[in-house]
Every structure is written in C-alpha cells, then in structure tokens.
Amino acid sequence: MRSHSDPATDAPSTDPGRAGHPGPGGPADRGAPGGPADPAGPGTLATPTGWALPIITVLGTAAAIVAAFFGSGALGGTPIAEAAGGVLSADATPVAPAGSAFSIWSVIYIGLAAYALWQLTPTARRSVRQAALRPWALASVLLNAAWVWAVQLELILGSVIVIALLLAVLVRIMYVLAAPRIGGVLESVVTDGTFGLYLGWVSVAFFANTFAWLASAGVDVVTGVPFGIVGIVVAAAVGVATALISGGRIPPALATSWGLAWVAFGRTSGEHESAALVGAAAVASVVVVAVALVRRLTGLRRERGRGAADRGARQPV
C-alpha cells in the first residue's frame, strides 16, 4: 500500500537502492521499512514480525481481562468501589464519576481483545505501525492488571503511581498511532478507536484516583467544592490538549467527555452534591468534544486545501 504517488519513485529504476534490492546507501541498506526499496510502500515491513511478541501481547491482554473480572467481584475479588474501604467509590470525592461511568471498561476490554487477535494477522505483522505499537500496548494491559491488584491489596498510593505510568504509556501510544495505517478501517477501529477510548477514560480516572488517595490520606481540602472544580478544569484541560495535539482524534475526546459527564451526574446527589460542580463538569464535558471536532474539521479542510494546491501545481501550463 502506498500513501502517495511519486513519479520519481514509481518509475522503474536501475538503481539497486531504489529498485527493491539492497544497495549501498539505499533505503534497504539503511534498514528503513516503507521506503522506495520496499515494494509494499510506506508503513509496511519487508519482513513480517516474528510470533513471540504478538503471542505475548495476547497473553498479556488475557491476563488484564481476567484481572478486570476479578476486580469487578465476578471471580471472588472485592469490587473496586468497595475495595480499600471504598476510597474509590462513586461518592468518595468531588471528582469521582458516578458508578455507571465504569461501564466504558466493557467497551475498552472488548476493543483490547479485538486488537490482541487482529495484531496476529499477516497484515498486522507486516505493519511498521503495529511493530511500534505492540510493546506499548502490552505495557498498557500489564499496567492495567497491576492497577487492579494494587487496589485489591489496598495500596492506594501504589495505584496512583501505576495509573500515572499507564497514562504516560497511553500518551506515547497516541504518538505511535500517528504513523501510516495499512490495515484499513478494521485497524482504525481496533487500534485508534480502542486506545483512544482507553486514553480518554484513563485521563479522567487518573484525577479521580489521585483525589481518592489524597482524601484517604487526610488531605481534606480535596473534598471541598473549590478544589473539585480545579480538578475538573485540569482534567478537561488534559482532554483539550490531547485533542489539539492529536489532530482532533475523536475517541479520546468522547471517553474524557463521558467521564466528565458522569462526574456531573454524580454531583446531583450524595455527599458531594453541588450545583457548581455539576455545572463545571457538564460544561467541561461539552468543551472537550467541541474542541476535538473543531480541530478535526480544521485539519480536514487544510488537507483538502493542500491536495487541491498540489493538483493545481501538477497541471500542465
């Protein structure tokens, strides 16, 4: 698959470095996949990835899903909302999302399972993008499982450290996914969609987790309305920054918006009921999606403009 047409590289050449044969100084000599020396074009490896890491990724994803079932209480574990004395319950802090918000994990885990299976396919094993993504994807699912066990063991500070590392890994994945796709719509759904939702949700969960740890440590200021508004604004700012940096990727914005919307709903009743918190979280939820949509549409218009300019420049005078 070629992402563009370049007459200079599409034409036959006697230069071994450009005809698909290794030659001194050519792309094959440099080991750069997807260059003119690779007949399949940008984004495709000349040699498929071996089986070891793809299979380990499947096993790691399976372990994360099992840990999630355990953390839900389905396999004998303590439900996350009840673990560690309920410090992560839906009413623990002003920035805790209502319980229904956590249903997004079902979508994320289904996406991770689909990704784990798809990355075994020949297309995925020849993808430069997937080769770069696979170790980070594995790290994300292992950190996910580690977070569940940290909470089960009542290591709340440990859970904050783990979710911070998980967030960093997911941010890295966002940059990796900027590489060319060769798997079409299916790859877009199981990678961009899954890891986008994963990033957006963890961005909100990180703040909820951090506030819960501080509250459990006796830092009472985090349980007040002013500090709750600060937390909501910062979480929204992270969502906006993600939208801007990623070129308006919609899945992360949707997941962040989902989490903030359930924070708003959670503040309509209970210990931390507050009209100010409801308003702040509701507005933040809308703003994150709006910024992502504007950024996305602006980027598409620029791409169309560049395409039109290129076509005009190629017209014979």
Q: Which two tokens stand for residue 163?
A: 């979710």
What's the pLDDT band for 82 if we cut at 50, 70, 90? Answer: confident
Q: What are phi and psi of 246, to 5 degrees?
A: -85, 0
pLDDT (0 to 100) of residue 310 = 61
3-state class (DSSP) for residue 302: helix
Instruction: Judge whether residue 68 has pLDDT over 90.
Output: no
Tell me the pLDDT band of 33, cut-offs 50, 70 and 90.
very low
- Of the pLDDT bands very low, low, confident and very high (cuts 50, 70, 90), residue 307 is low
| DSSP assignments along 203-253, one per residue | HHHHHHHHHHHHHHTT-GGGGSHHHHHHHHHHHHHHHHHHHHHTTS-HHHH
The pTM (predicted TM-score) of the whole model is 0.82
On the question of pLDDT at 11 being above 90, the answer is no
pLDDT of 6: 42
Mean pLDDT, the chain, as a whole number?
A: 84
Name the least confident of 42-56, 102-116, 168-182, 296-310: 296-310
